[in-house]
Structure 1
């Protein structure tokens, strides 16, 4: 018995992926420059063709069904391959400039391996790295100053593509005493740090007096204050340097929330090199050897 094979419509898949990324028909319509009705119609048409339900609605908005989740992952791969073939055939293979925005704490062990393999794979691409606090990166993306950004945000608060969820942890010198001092000496990377509101709110709720020791915007200088046991700081667990210590199970320090590393692309950015970098981030951010990841 022969099996009927159908052809997937890339325009329907692009709409589906955009809706899944935005978790909103309205936001997807804005990004695609079409009406919300057109987006809804395309999603419904794709569901009819496949004979499945792709989205369900809860109080937080649209959510992918289990079937939708499976299609979402495969649709990304399908569209990436489609765009790569199109670019090669049209003579637009990976070249040009891509501007990547990354928070200070992700620049080291998290991003370096990704950038190295990307540069090796696409030597014709002029890749620029812009480092800033997450709120500033978001503003730069909106202003068209960068093409792709990794943004650290509280879980479920951002609308970007969640690449990973990481624990926010207290970090100190190995065997250090700064953690037991009161007021608690805290070293923050900058006043614009995405973690700052959550950290200080936790200290207030736990009734822990604190003082800021250093706020420079320089991650290395912050690390120096911690290594010298002048202060403790907070970092995502996967970014803590090996010579420092995660302060775990200390009853005198409040628990900290998890943060998502969300990926955002500039509106109307359709460079093959940018798509390739985004796919590289999905596959290689932190590698496959760390616990706690929540890849979408």
Structure 2
């Protein structure tokens, strides 16, 4: 008979808490355990894994390759476990949920998914905060947000639960024509936006002249600028509107580089309502075919 390794949820919760909160002592405070008890649980988990999962050098925590993989599974196991527990315990889904969404990503689809969840749970008060991805993640680290969607840059992606790839598309008014003598007019977010950077990189790489014809921080502003013929912009398939058309390589426009978007949260800080929201968002992303497998985790986490 085949034997199975049983990863106990309390050990996985300790592991995720240490990573998300950045220290053994903080994890102990959150879980009501002493630091020696937290250390013992990590050792027990490493015995089950058969290898170290965390190394500590000074005040810096390092995840081993086994720890990276375990963290991916642990987040998935805990969010499903906690949703099941809240369901069978008939937990009252109520309270305030603070969600951060980035200006530099077309979030109409996600706004609809999130408001759908709150309509189903009217005792939840939703606070949506929009800003640049870096600012959104800073607010999550400061416990000013419960859940965040933001661009993922590089390998270091603290609190990342799930990520997916978006390929921006060139959008223009249906009757838009290019005047090569004046350069490509761009409708873009302000500097620092990943979409703006990808438009400029693509055009520079193709040695095509361009100019900024419209600048605004809201997606609706970009959409209006495109429809009114002020310029072309990089949008997603969710934000293409009637009156727009896609510009492709056949039209002389180079392909835009992919953008990786992530769903972030601190599991130890999240309420039952927050866990259910995360599961709802992931479910809708899976249905839409944009949510990939749990991502490869970062190998180095710098904590203060």
Name the CA shift for 1:267/1:80 in 2 (closer, same or farther; >3 Å). closer
Aligned residue for 1:112, secondary structure, equals helix
Name the CA shift for 1:103/1:185 in 2 (closer, same or farther; >3 Å). same
Q: Which sits farther off after the overlay, 161-170 or 136-145?
A: 136-145
Q: Is the 8 A contact 1:162 1:260 kept in 2?
A: no
Q: Is the 8 A contact 2:248 2:254 kept in 1?
A: no
Report what 1:233 is aligned to. Answer: 233
Structure 1 regions of 5+ residues with no counterpart?
A: none
Q: Is the 8 A contact 1:169 1:256 kept in 2?
A: yes
1:225-277 C-alpha deviation (Å, 9 max, x unpaired):
11122211112344433542332224743332211221222585232212221
Name the CA shift for 1:66/1:100 in 2 (closer, same or farther; >3 Å). closer
Aligned residue for 1:222, secondary structure, equals helix
Aligned residue for 2:259, secondary structure, equals strand
1:195 maps to 2:195 = yes
Name the CA shift for 1:187/1:33 in 2 (closer, same or farther; >3 Å). farther
Report what 2:174 is aligned to. Answer: 174
Take 1:295 and 1:214, find their aligned partners in 2: how far apart are those partners?
37
Q: Map of 1:36-75 to 2, 5 A cutoff?
A: 42=41, 45-46=44-45, 48-49=47-48, 62-63=64-65, 68=70, 73-75=76-78
How many Å apart are 1:123 and its aligned residue?
1.6
1:294 maps to 2:292 = yes
Report what 1:212 is aligned to. Answer: 212
Count of matched residue pairs: 281
How many Å apart are 1:162 and its aligned residue?
2.8
1:281 maps to 2:281 = yes
How many Å apart are 1:125 and its aligned residue?
0.9
Take 1:7 and 1:54, find their aligned partners in 2: how far apart are those partners?
17
Take 2:216 and 2:209, find their aligned partners in 1: how far apart are those partners?
21
Name the CA shift for 1:157/1:207 in 2 (closer, same or farther; >3 Å). farther
RMSD of aligned residue pairs (Cα, Å):
4.1
1 or 2 for the larger relative contact order (CA 8 Å, sep ≥6)?
2
1:32 maps to 2:27 = yes
1:141 maps to 2:140 = yes
TM-score by length of 2: 0.72
Take 1:244 and 1:28, find their aligned partners in 2: how far apart are those partners?
50
Take 1:259 and 1:143, find their aligned partners in 2: how far apart are those partners?
25
Take 1:123 and 1:54, find their aligned partners in 2: how far apart are those partners?
44
Report what 2:58 is aligned to. Answer: none
Take 2:203 and 2:25, find their aligned partners in 1: how far apart are those partners?
40
Report what 2:98 is aligned to. Answer: 99
